[in-house]
Structure 1
């Protein structure tokens, strides 16, 4: 089963997706794949990461992998990938096709994967080119995930709406 959750920042995506991962994993702990590249020395993000680790430590096995999801996803397991937005940022220079190639390999595997993506395409078009490219790639990858996944959920204010 491949499932896609999207919504704005702090919309409740992770809590809804976490509940779904725990439901799907049955008697095994699911994997939480953190995609944030913690090399930026951002103190606020470090604190956020610490809170996330503390919140999930009893329920998930954690893996940190910012770029190569194929290297960590295996058959027969359940994964929560949080989040695809950071995965896009980490792989921007390699291009959208590179990301789709990775994801195609994951879609071929017999495992449960829950993808989370921040919905950032509802705002003003950024002035700076790299930011525009990032927003465009996020929208395009979101469309790809929505098409390929078995279920798609939009989350707003901790309310989820199944779209597919």
Structure 2
């Protein structure tokens, strides 16, 4: 089963997607944390610590900011939090390389719950790198929506199943 959860910042995506991963798992699921801590951002560090506290001991945590294919194995359950940070970390590779990596994940017999921030409802950014990031985020979102077994939009911790 491949599930895709998306929504705005602080919409409740992680808590909803975590519940889904726990429901799918037959053993302790894996939480793949994609945040690259090299940015030295104290506010993000606090956010990460809140996520760690929220999930407690229910998941086995793997920190992998760039290459998801090297940590996902057959017959396990994974929560990837989040694809937005995966995109940011892999911007130098370009969309095609990110899509190839995600395609490999879909060929692995396992449960994966993907989380993506919905950042495509605003104005077009003025700065080129930001525009590319928003564009790639939208394209990756389309790829996930097309290929996942289910697609769930989250707003204020309310889930709306689209597929």
Q: TM-score, normalised by structure 2?
A: 0.98
How far off its partner does 1:75 sit?
Answer: 0.4
* CA drift at 1:135: 0.3
What TM-score does the superposition give when structure 1 sets the normalisation length? 0.98
Within 2, Cα distance between the matches of 1:107 and 1:14? 21
SS state of the match for residue 152, structure 1?
A: strand
Spell out, residue by residue over 1:104-156, the C-alpha distance to the aligned partner (whole angstroms, 9 max, x if none): 11100110000000000000110000000000000000000000000000011
Deviates more, 1:45-54 or 1:122-131: 45-54
1:84 aligns with 2:92: no
Match of 2:95 in 1: 96
C-alpha RMSD over aligned residues: 0.7
Match of 2:28 in 1: 29
For structure 2, the 5+ residue unaligned runs are: none
Deviates more, 1:54-63 or 1:67-76: 54-63
Count of matched residue pairs: 163
Q: Which runs of 4+ in 1 moved over 6 A?
A: none
Name structure 1 gaps, 5 residues minimum.
Answer: none
Deviation by residue 1:44-63 (Cα, 9 ceiling, x = unmatched): 11111112112212100001
Within 5 A, what are the aligned runs for 1:142-161? Answer: 142-161=141-160
Q: What is aligned with 1:141?
A: 140
